[in-house]
């Protein structure tokens, strides 16, 4: 795995969380009991749902960016496969938030995903610091 799956799953995840945004718009503007939903803007399921939507799109975008960078710099970076897998595991965070909201599950996936994404981003930063550069003949 060299970034291709990060690109594919990043775009697919972004599309799903964008669609989830339409559900949030429906709940805010058109659903029966929308006033109750609007009044719970900063607490409970409403707040958690918005967190999932925002982090889902952010982590999807990070996977797209990381995937592109891993593909482009594949031969110059170390630990490409591990960074790629950790970034993909980061997608567990917004999925974990939704599993808390809709199924009442504990926040284990949230923590695993958040830690995985953070480690992948920091590790990629160090990989770029240590990147092998190609010297030109100029």
Query: Read out DSSP for 1-31?
Result: --SHHHHHHHHHHHHHHHHHHHHHHHHHHTS
Residue 46 to residue 43: CA distance in whole angstroms: 6
What are the CA-CA distances from residue 27 to residues 19, 77, 106, 120 (Å)? 13, 45, 24, 34
The set of residues, in sequence order, having a beta carbon less than 8 Å from that of 97 and lying 6+ positions away, is 48, 51, 52, 55, 110
- Provide the pLDDT confidence category of residue 134 given band limits of 50, 70 and 90: low
Range of the domain at 63: 4-129
Q: What's the mean per-residue pLDDT of the chain?
A: 93
Whether 135 is in a domain gets the answer no
Whether 34 is in a domain gets the answer yes
Whether 114 is in a domain gets the answer yes
Whether 44 is in a domain gets the answer yes
pLDDT in tens, 50-104: 999 999 999 999 999 999 999 999 999 999 999 999 999 999 999 999 999 999 9
Helix then strand count (H, E) for the chain reads: 6, 0
Whether 54 is in a domain gets the answer yes
Domain count, the chain: 1
pTM passes above 0.75: yes
Whether 33 is in a domain gets the answer yes
Q: Which two tokens stand for residue 65?
A: 């960016």
């Amino acid at each position: 795995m060299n970034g291709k799956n990060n690109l594919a799953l990043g775009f697919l995840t972004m599309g799903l969380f964008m669609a989830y945004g339409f559900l949030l718009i429906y709940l805010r503007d058109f659903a029966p009991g929308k006033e109750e939903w609007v009044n719970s803007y900063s607490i409970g399921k409403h707040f958690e749902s918005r967190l999932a939507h925002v982090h889902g799109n952010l982590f999807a975008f990070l996977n797209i960016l990381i995937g592109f960078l891993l593909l482009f710099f594949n031969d110059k970076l170390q630990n490409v496969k591990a960074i790629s897998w950790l970034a993909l595991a980061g997608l567990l965070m917004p999925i974990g938030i939704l599993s808390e909201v809709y199924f009442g599950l504990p926040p284990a996936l949230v923590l695993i995903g958040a830690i995985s994404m953070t480690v992948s981003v920091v590790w990629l930063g160090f990989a770029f610091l240590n990147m092998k550069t190609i010297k030109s003949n100029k």
